[in-house]
Amino acid sequence: FQLQAFGGGLVQPGGSLRLSCTASGGRFTDYSVAWFRQAPGKEREAVACISSGSGGASTYYVDSVKGRSTISRDTAKNTVDLQIDSLKSEDAAAYYCAATNQWRFAGTSASLYDTWGQGTQVTVSS
C-alpha cells in the first residue's frame, strides 16, 4: 500500500490550493487519512484528518485552517483531497498525507499512521 501526494506549488496570498493524496495497493476507504505539514524550523502538525469509510466521515481541522479548509474523499479516483482557501503565508510548508487501517479515526497523532506519502511543497508568496 502506497501513497502519493500531489498539488503543491506557488500560490498568492488569498488564493486557493487543492492537494490530492492518491493510494495504490489497497482500498483507500478502509483507511483513516490525515494531512500533515511541516514548515522549516517548526514542528510537524496535523492539518486535517478524515475517518475511514465512504459516507458520514468524521473530520478534524487544526484551528488555523478551520472554516477555510475541506478534507474529502473521491472514491472514484481513490483519493483524499485537501482544499485550502484564503491561503496565508503561514500555510507555507511541506504537506504530507498519511494513512492507517488500524484505526477508524486515527486523529492527529502522527505515530498512529503507518503509511506516508512524499511531501508536496506549498509556497505562499506574491
How many CB atoms are located within 10 Å of the residue 46 CB? 19
Give pLDDT, residue 57.
85
Rounded to an integer, what distance in angstroms lies between the CA atom of residue 95 and that of residue 104? 22
Give pLDDT, residue 45.
97
Q: How many CA atoms lie within 13 A of 15 on its CB side?
A: 15
Task: Report, as an integer, the average pLDDT of 26-46.
Answer: 96
Give pLDDT, residue 55.
74
User: Residue 125: which pLDDT band, with cuts at 50, 70 and 90?
Assistant: very high
pLDDT, mean over the chain:
95
Task: Report, as an integer, the average pLDDT of 17-27.
Answer: 95
Phi, psi of 13 (to 5 degrees): -55, 135
pLDDT, tens digit, for every residue of 90-107? 999 999 999 999 999 999
pLDDT, tens digit, for every residue of 54-90? 777 899 999 999 999 999 999 889 999 999 999 999 9
Give pLDDT, residue 114.
96
Task: Report, as an integer, the average pLDDT of 19-27.
Answer: 95
